[in-house]
Amino acid sequence: MTDIVTITLNPAVDLSTSVDRIQPVAKLRGKSQRRDPGGGGINVARVIRRLGGDAHAIYPVGGAIGGLLRQLLDQEGVVSQTWTIAGETREDFFVDEIATGKQYRFILPGPHLSPSEWQHCLSLVAAIEPFPRLVVASGSLLEGVPLDFYARVARIARQRGAGFVLDTSGPALAAAVAEGVDLIKPNLREMRELSGSDPSDAYEWEAAAKALVAGGKAGTVALTMGHLGAALVTRNEVLRARPIPITPRSAVGAGDSFLAGLIWRLSSGASREDAFRLAVAAGAAALIHPGTELCRIEDVERLAAGVTIEKA
Residues labelled catalytic: 256
Minimum CB distance to Mg ion smaller for 43 or for 82 = 43
Binding mask 197-236 for Mg ion (x = CB under 5 A): ----------------------------------------
In this structure, is the dihedral angle defined by the CA atoms of residues 66, 33, 279 and 78, taken in order, positive or negative? positive
We find the least distance from the C-beta atom of residue 42 to Mg ion, in angstroms, to be 14
Binding mask 201-230 for ligand ATP (x = CB under 6 A): -----------------------xxxx-xx
CA distances to 55, 69, 194 from 113, rounded to whole Å, are: 25, 18, 26
Binding mask 178-197 for ligand ATP (x = CB under 6 A): ---------x----------
Minimum CB distance to ligand ATP smaller for 134 or for 230 = 230
Q: What letter does residue 286 receive in the DSSP assignment?
A: T
In this structure, is the dihedral angle defined by the CA atoms of residues 209, 49, 11 and 95, taken in order, positive or negative? positive
Q: How far apart are CA 41 and CA 243, in angstroms?
A: 24
We find the least distance from the C-beta atom of residue 128 to ligand ATP, in angstroms, to be 26
Give the count of residues interacting with ligand ATP (CB under 6 A). Answer: 20
Q: How far apart are CA 80 and CA 248, in angstroms?
A: 31
Nearest residue to 287 (alpha-carbon basis) of 250, 259, 261: 250
Tell me whether the omega of the peptide bond preceding residue 130 falls within 30 degrees of 0, making it cis: yes
Contact pick of 153, 194, 284, 294 for ligand ATP (by CB under 6 A): 284
Binding mask 79-98 for ligand ATP (x = CB under 6 A): --------------------
Contact pick of 36, 92, 256, 299 for ligand ATP (by CB under 6 A): 256
- Characterize the bridge pairing of strands 163-167 and 181-184: parallel
CB of 104 closer than 8 Å to CB of 92: no
CB of 173 closer than 8 Å to CB of 186: yes
> Which residue has the closest beta carbon to Mg ion?
255
Residues between 44 and 83 with contacts to ligand ATP, criterion CB under 6 A: none
Nearest residue to 228 (alpha-carbon basis) of 211, 213, 206: 206
> Phi first, then psi: what are they for 81, rounded to 5°?
-125, 110
Minimum CB distance to ligand ATP smaller for 162 or for 263 = 263
We find the least distance from the C-beta atom of residue 224 to Mg ion, in angstroms, to be 7
Extended strands (E) in 117-207: 134-138, 163-167, 181-184
In three-state secondary structure terms, 309 is: strand
Q: How far apart are CA 4 and CA 55, in angstroms?
A: 5
Residues between 113 and 152 with contacts to ligand ATP, criterion CB under 6 A: none
For position 244 contacting ligand ATP by CB under 6 A, the verdict is: yes
For position 255 contacting Mg ion by CB under 5 A, the verdict is: yes
Minimum CB distance to Mg ion smaller for 92 or for 117 = 92
Residues at the interface with ligand ATP (CB under 6 A): 187, 224-227, 229-230, 243-244, 246, 248, 253-256, 258, 280, 283-284, 287
Residues of this chain that bind Mg ion (CB under 5 A): 255
